[in-house]
Amino acid sequence: MNTDNEHWMSIALEEARAGASRGEVPVGAVVVCGGQLAARDHNRSRELADPTAHAEILALREAAAKQGDWRLGDCTLYVTLEPCAMCAGAIVLARVERLVFAAHDPKAGMCVSLGNLVQDERLNHRVDIESGVLAEEASALLREFFQAKR
């Protein structure tokens, strides 16, 4: 496994843990552009009372703002859970080059599990995908979070 992928995913996992400590579903995201950290965040839907405040959306917004361009073509998004339809759409619209995610999401994932929006040939941009990077750690964090809620 690529050690760069593990490095960046471990930072995404730190973000996920930070979200969990605030009662958010533990998902973290990191945007890396040109080998440099451009943005990092975690889910904040509860905190911001915003259904769109997923980790991926927040990190993409920050990276675009820092670059002064909505196109993130030289960037990789690392996320601890397979993105949902909303986030997959944002990834395509931002022209992200590469998506690396940890755990598959059989209930809402739209990059492999339920569909594959980010590689749909009908769209004008397709994203390279790698999955399974630190998947066990990400899955365990989600399991523990939801078990504590029950």
Question: Concatenated DSSP letters for 82-118?
Answer: ---HHHHHHHHHTT-SEEEEEE--TTT-TTTTS--GG
List all residues 6 or more positions away from 142 whose beta carbon is below 8 Å from its beta carbon: 25, 26, 81, 103
Percent of the chain with pLDDT over 90: 97
Q: pTM for the complete prediction? A: 0.96
**What local confidence, expressed as pLDDT, does residue 149 receive?**
82
pLDDT of the residue at 136 = 98
The 10s digit of each residue's pLDDT in 122-131 is 999 999 999 9
- Is residue 142 very low, low, confident or very high in pLDDT (cuts 50, 70, 90)? very high
- pLDDT beyond 60 at 1: no
Which of 6, 56, 137, 144 does the annotation list as catalytic?
A: 56
Ramachandran sector of residue 31 (left: φ over 0; alpha: ψ -120 to 50; beta: rest): beta
Active site residue 121: no
Q: Which phi and psi angles does 41 have, rounded to 5°?
A: -165, 175
Question: Per-residue pLDDT tens for 13-68?
Answer: 999 999 999 999 999 999 999 999 999 999 999 999 999 999 999 999 999 999 99
Quote the pLDDT of residue 150: 78
CA atoms within 13 A on the CB side of 133: 25
